[in-house]
Structure 1
Amino acid sequence: MKIFQFSPHASVIAILATLVELAFANDFHLDCSSNVNGNGSKSKPFNSLQVINQLILRTGDVLKIKSGTTCVGTLSPQGSGTQKTPIILTSYGHGPLPTINGSSAAEAISLHNQDYWDISKIAVVNPASSIAWRRGIAATSDDGTVHRGLYIHDVAVYDVAGETNKATQSAAFIASAGIIINGTENASRYDDVQIYRNTIYNCGGGGIKVRIGQMDNHGVGTHVWDNNISYVGGDGIVVSYGGAPLIENNVAGFLGHGKYPWTGGNFAGIWVLGCQDAVMRFNVVHDSLMSDIDSEAFDCDWGNVGTCTVEYNYSHDNAGGIFLNCDGCGTSGGARQIVRYNVFQNDCRMYSNGDNVQLDFYNNVVYCPEKDFEIAVPPHTNLSNNIWVGTANSTLPRGYDIEWHDNLFQTVPMPGDTAGSSGNPQFTNPGTGKNSLASANGYKLRSGSSALHLGALITDNGGRDFWNNKVSSKERPNIGAYNARGL
């Protein structure tokens, strides 16, 4: 590899000539703790973000930041990779993750109309004395074309002083987060966005926001998984304008709290907007603060089409409760909403805004023995095979097109003679769930439970329960989220 050295006093012509020659380079090192700017090799690394931001990186190039060091300012490297050989941004050496400190800039890392970047094994912070439009990692597309290939993983993003008031600063709130992908401008979009195994906390505005197209121009290939989000002053995970996005195996906790807490408007745990056939599964959402109206664990918001599926999740102690149908909060998409095989512990509320959807809510556990239910559903709703543990003062919704089939009710009055039956489901250890999917094992059923084999058959039932037990399409299932034999 041929190495060149930059001088802060170099002429523009010299810099341009050097950039052309660097087209053949593929490995650059950055050590912001070094007093001397080197040539980019491991033994003589570059020492500032300003030098890196002048490079035009090529397919297969690797930019490595020295472990244990901190670079102050915005890293905004140029260039695009390819699907086979993305540009890689990562760390080298031993010790703590290297840190990019945006130091109150709009973002700490910025990509603009670029393709195929793989970012990993770094830390990103962006603190400030006051909140504003601010994010940790931001990728933006606004040139009217399709951009592809953003892979952000194994990164720590924290202490980002983003906007926390959606009521008075809506645009800044929507644009603030630990990680944000924005492809909504000028008919642009992003495809193949994968965000996984990141740790995000103390970020104003929210954790992860992926906005990848428009209502009639869905970004495809979005996958958000295995992220741990906590103490963010807003939404946990939002995906907007995606075709078949998959959000799975994430944990989002203590939303609305943290160093930059929520201050106005609404947020929710994990939700989608303007998507087609979105799926949210195997996630945990817990301990959300109450916002103006929302703060539910999960939300199928406005503009969704096809199906919006919430399955195999566990949530507990969210002030806003279980689920939000917000199809009426903007342009209606009328998606069929499917909420199935979830466990909801001390989440006692559902809110509905929009009449053009069909909600199928089945084989869930809703455990709320110490607080009255506040359950609102769309006019066209089918509630089947759920276990409801509530209070004697609770009421459940009724309506001409609200159907109840084969539910089991403990303490809470049944919402009609044909809604199901009353009794003790005989959970193995209810009320003991913590902050992981595995901690919800107390909602399996004991032998002799009145919920065994008494559920209604559901067409296209997903084929498995919360614990990956098979659910037959021909034999009556159990009531609740557990479909194996009693224990």
Structure 2
Amino acid sequence: MRTALLVAALTAAAVVVVAPSASAATAYHVDCAATTGGNGTQSSPWNSLDQVNATTFGPGDQLLFKRGATCTGRLIGTGSGTASAPIRVGAYGTGTARPVINGAGALSAVYLKDVSHWTLNDLRVTNPSGTRAERNGVRVETASADAKAGIVIDGLEVDNVAGWGDKTGTNAAWFSRSSGIMVLGAATAGPINGISIVNNHVHDTGGGGIKISNKPSAYHTSVRIADNRIISAGGDGIVVHGSDAPLVERNRADNLGGGAYPFVAGNFAGMWPINSRNPVFQFNEVTRSYPSIFDSTAWDCDGGIVGTCTYQYNFSAGNAGGFHLGCQTCTSFPNYKAKEVIRYNVSQDDCRAAWVSGSNGPVELHNNTFYCAGNPIDFTLPNGTGATTSIRNNIFVAAHGSFPTAAGVTYDNNLYWGGVTPPSGDTNAVTGDPALAYPGGSGSGFNSVDGYKLRTGSPALGAGAVLAGAGSRDYFGAAVPKADGTVNIGADNGSGVGAHTYPNLKAAFNNTGISKDVNPAIGGFSLSGRSYSSDALAAAGFKTGPVTANGVTFQWTQQYYGFPDNVKAAGQKITLSGSGTAVAFLGAAGYGTQSGTGTVTYTDGTTSTYTLSFTDWWASSPIAGNQVAATLAYHNKAPTTYNNPATGRDEQDVRLFQTSVPITAGKAVASITLPNVGGPLAGAGLHVFAMTVV
């Protein structure tokens, strides 16, 4: 009897031990290159998405795809994890190639619907098709009424998604639901608490990069979109819809509207919220957006915003629509007249600096640095009954443009230079060169924002007003106010930096003299926004790398058209090495033949002077000492129809010229100081695209 009871007890104990093991987290392996489908172990992996999609996953499970293998079809995740034991989708195996999920034209390549606590990591997700439609790379959807939580999309490459590019017409709604990464909520669905989209590389995705689209029954919470690269997406960079206090930070978006599936029609913008509460966008970068009907700005505070829309510590450059759009009245959502706080941002050649109209919500535009080398600076601001627009402590550098004055618009303590006149209400205006370190500098092919620090002796140092609620830091991390209690004008609250010596010509680029034919609006060789065509230059042999003109070989470092690509000579000292008898230049003049004197410094400390002269780029024949390096049958200008780049082509031919200046034979060159002809802003002057010692 005792023996039977002991056996029964041991059997029961065995059941208690075995049961948890049976429900323990499991690692499932998938190798779609395997010839047969196994049981999901690493030694016998599944070989199809059908096996994956037939499985309901649970807390702590891992779904691991083999590196270097491609699964074609749609990955549909079923089941939920927990906060402490999320379901993780990732990679296994050796090598650096990510496993690929290729949707092959499905609605999405990866689909998570009504699930919680999923983490996607280290995959390449692609969804190409010869026909564009509503389409995503990754699609997370909430449709049921219960709340969800814990969606993490981290470290993916999402590319070549054939999403819809037309925000007009019958299928306009497809555009808002097309992007590389999408979170979509039905109006009656439960919200998601915890959306983290970080460290992803999204490129060539129709409709846009990353979107949270539509507001569910309540705001999503704990939303963070950070450290993503969005390159050549055919629409919006980042859109945040229906979220409470979303944080969008340290993302980079470039060449929006272009890529494999380009924007077609309607409007898009860089990074923006809609129908959300207290959104914050900080430390982001948006550059070179294509034209659309009206928008194409880097930033936009859109409809249905509650509380405060904050843009701080961001950089933008060369966007066809400019810097900021306040469009709270542009949608069917209610206009809650949210406050717009725009502070400590740097804007380069985004000369429609702000278009904020109709909302009459308070706007605080302070401590920003606006640098417009070519195009006029332009503002539209709320005014009239109920408007409170405060424009304080900003640097405005532009050759031309104006500032609106009206009831409800206040200017104070701004700095104006380059050709713009302070509005009459700015009684504490500062005028004069702000002595920016090296504005427009592009040492690595993209902008070096350190160029917008203030040099020692700048009139902007300590000249700003101390503002309540201004934040505790500037763009570069310096404290606000400084230890002595003062505040600078502009985005830099430091104590000033020394004079800058450029390590090479490319680092000194400060003018955007070349534009792509598909995006002509961002050129600025002249004050009217005209520029050389990159396509016409390429046809003439001027492509990235060595180019030879009249027997002299130059390095053509121009590559990312829409960023500065030449030096408008303003006395820059540039490191240059070599020995010979001359320095050869590729360049041209603007507004007639131009000439100026510069200095060559040799390694032994001696110097020699030279005179550099260039022919006007429109001239049909060169002046004495110049030779034609390239003749282009047309050039680009600002489009007459905003979103039709073909209207930005001018059939007037233009030329690039070559010349040389003598140097002391037998001595090694250490640096060259360019002439100071007309200053750095577009207008009369000399433009240098390349140089070399010969």
* TM-score, normalised relative to structure 2: 0.65
- In structure 1, what residue type is equivalent to 2:75? L
- Whether 2:181 is the aligned partner of 1:185: answer no
The residue number in structure 1 matching 2:449 is 440
**Equivalence map 1:85-234=2 (5 Å):** 85-95=85-95, 96-168=97-169, 169-211=171-213, 213-214=215-216, 217-234=218-235
Does structure 2 retain, via aligned residues, the 8 Å contact 1:23–1:57?
no
- More displaced, 162-171 or 314-323? 162-171
Which of residues 387, 391, 395 is equivalent to 1:387?
Answer: 395
The residue number in structure 2 matching 1:269 is 270
Structure 1 residues 65 and 390: alpha-carbon distance in aligned structure 2, compared to 1, 3 A threshold:
same
How many Å apart are 1:378 and its aligned residue? Answer: 1.9
The residue number in structure 2 matching 1:15 is none
The residue number in structure 1 matching 2:374 is 370
**CA offsets per residue over residues 63-119 of structure 1, 9 Å max, x none?**
000000000000002110001110000000123100000000000000110000010
How many Å apart are 1:374 and its aligned residue? Answer: 2.2
How many Å apart are 1:369 and its aligned residue? Answer: 2.4
- In structure 2, what residue type is equivalent to 1:403? T
User: In 2, Cα distance between the equivalents of 1:436 and 1:186?
Assistant: 47
Q: How many equivalent pairs are there?
A: 465
How many Å apart are 1:433 and its aligned residue? Answer: 4.8
Does structure 2 retain, via aligned residues, the 8 Å contact 1:205–1:262?
yes
Does structure 2 retain, via aligned residues, the 8 Å contact 1:334–1:356?
yes
Displaced runs of 4 or more, over 6 A: 434-438
The residue number in structure 1 matching 2:356 is 352
Which of residues 319, 333, 337 is equivalent to 1:334?
Answer: 337
**CA offsets per residue over residues 372-405 of structure 1, 9 Å max, x none?**
122112223110000000123x111211111001
User: In 1, Cα distance between the equivalents of 2:208 and 2:94?
Assistant: 31
How many Å apart are 1:211 and its aligned residue? Answer: 3.3
User: In 2, Cα distance between the equivalents of 1:424 and 1:167?
Assistant: 45
Does structure 1 retain, via aligned residues, the 8 Å contact 2:440–2:448?
no
Does structure 1 retain, via aligned residues, the 8 Å contact 2:118–2:152?
yes
Which of residues 423, 427, 432 is equivalent to 1:423?
Answer: 432
- More displaced, 184-193 or 108-117? 184-193
The residue number in structure 1 matching 2:476 is 467
- Whether 2:493 is the aligned partner of 1:483: answer yes
Secondary structure in 2 matching 1:65: strand
- Whether 2:405 is the aligned partner of 1:398: answer yes
- In structure 1, what residue type is equivalent to 2:351? C
- In structure 2, what residue type is equivalent to 1:347? D
Does structure 2 retain, via aligned residues, the 8 Å contact 1:386–1:480?
yes
Secondary structure in 1 matching 2:448: helix
* TM-score, normalised relative to structure 1: 0.93
The residue number in structure 2 matching 1:456 is 465
**CA offsets per residue over residues 305-362 of structure 1, 9 Å max, x none?**
1111000001100011000101111221211100000000000012224323111000
User: In 2, Cα distance between the equivalents of 1:278 and 1:435?
Assistant: 32
Does structure 1 retain, via aligned residues, the 8 Å contact 2:177–2:213?
no
- More displaced, 332-341 or 351-360? 351-360
User: Between Structure 1 and Structure 2, whose CA radius of gyration is higher?
Assistant: 2
**CA offsets per residue over residues 450-476 of structure 1, 9 Å max, x none?**
111111111011110001100029933
- More displaced, 429-438 or 101-110? 429-438
Structure 2: which 5+ runs fail to align? 1-20, 498-694
User: In 2, Cα distance between the equivalents of 1:161 and 1:434?
Assistant: 34
User: In 2, Cα distance between the equivalents of 1:221 and 1:69?
Assistant: 34
Does structure 1 retain, via aligned residues, the 8 Å contact 2:176–2:213?
no
Structure 1 residues 296 and 22: alpha-carbon distance in aligned structure 2, compared to 1, 3 A threshold:
farther
The residue number in structure 1 matching 2:42 is 42
User: In 2, Cα distance between the equivalents of 1:471 and 1:50?
Assistant: 57
The residue number in structure 1 matching 2:660 is none
Secondary structure in 2 matching 1:51: helix
CA RMSD of aligned residues (A): 1.7
User: In 1, Cα distance between the equivalents of 2:249 and 2:442?
Assistant: 19
Secondary structure in 2 matching 1:371: coil
Does structure 2 retain, via aligned residues, the 8 Å contact 1:284–1:436?
no
- More displaced, 76-85 or 344-353? 344-353
How many Å apart are 1:437 and its aligned residue? Answer: 9.5
Structure 1 residues 275 and 436: alpha-carbon distance in aligned structure 2, compared to 1, 3 A threshold:
farther
Does structure 2 retain, via aligned residues, the 8 Å contact 1:184–1:211?
no
User: In 2, Cα distance between the equivalents of 1:348 and 1:249?
Assistant: 23
User: In 2, Cα distance between the equivalents of 1:484 and 1:186?
Assistant: 50
How many Å apart are 1:435 and its aligned residue? Answer: 8.3
How many Å apart are 1:421 and its aligned residue? Answer: 2.2
- In structure 2, what residue type is equivalent to 1:370? G
**CA offsets per residue over residues 219-272 of structure 1, 9 Å max, x none?**
110000000001011000011111110000000000001110000000000000
User: In 2, Cα distance between the equivalents of 1:434 and 1:71?
Assistant: 41
The residue number in structure 2 matching 1:51 is 51
How many Å apart are 1:436 and its aligned residue? Answer: 9.7
**CA offsets per residue over residues 38-76 of structure 1, 9 Å max, x none?**
010000000000011000100000000000000000000
Secondary structure in 2 matching 1:150: strand
Q: Percent identity?
A: 37
How many Å apart are 1:187 and its aligned residue? Answer: 3.8
The residue number in structure 1 matching 2:308 is 307
User: In 1, Cα distance between the equivalents of 2:223 and 2:363?
Assistant: 24
- In structure 1, what residue type is equivalent to 2:399? T
The residue number in structure 2 matching 1:281 is 282
Which of residues 418, 421, 424 is equivalent to 1:413?
Answer: 421
Secondary structure in 2 matching 1:289: coil
Does structure 1 retain, via aligned residues, the 8 Å contact 2:440–2:447?
no
Does structure 2 retain, via aligned residues, the 8 Å contact 1:313–1:437?
no
User: In 2, Cα distance between the equivalents of 1:97 and 1:429?
Assistant: 40
User: In 2, Cα distance between the equivalents of 1:412 and 1:397?
Assistant: 12
User: In 1, Cα distance between the equivalents of 2:465 and 2:25?
Assistant: 64
Does structure 2 retain, via aligned residues, the 8 Å contact 1:297–1:322?
yes
- Whether 2:65 is the aligned partner of 1:65: answer yes
How many Å apart are 1:146 and its aligned residue? Answer: 1.2
Secondary structure in 2 matching 1:79: coil
User: In 1, Cα distance between the equivalents of 2:394 and 2:473?
Assistant: 15
How many Å apart are 1:23 and its aligned residue? Answer: 4.7
Structure 1 residues 377 and 435: alpha-carbon distance in aligned structure 2, compared to 1, 3 A threshold:
farther
User: In 1, Cα distance between the equivalents of 2:445 and 2:55?
Assistant: 43
- More displaced, 306-315 or 469-478? 469-478
Structure 1: which 5+ runs fail to align? 1-20
- In structure 2, what residue type is equivalent to 1:452? L
Does structure 1 retain, via aligned residues, the 8 Å contact 2:230–2:237?
yes
User: In 2, Cα distance between the equivalents of 1:97 and 1:283?
Assistant: 27
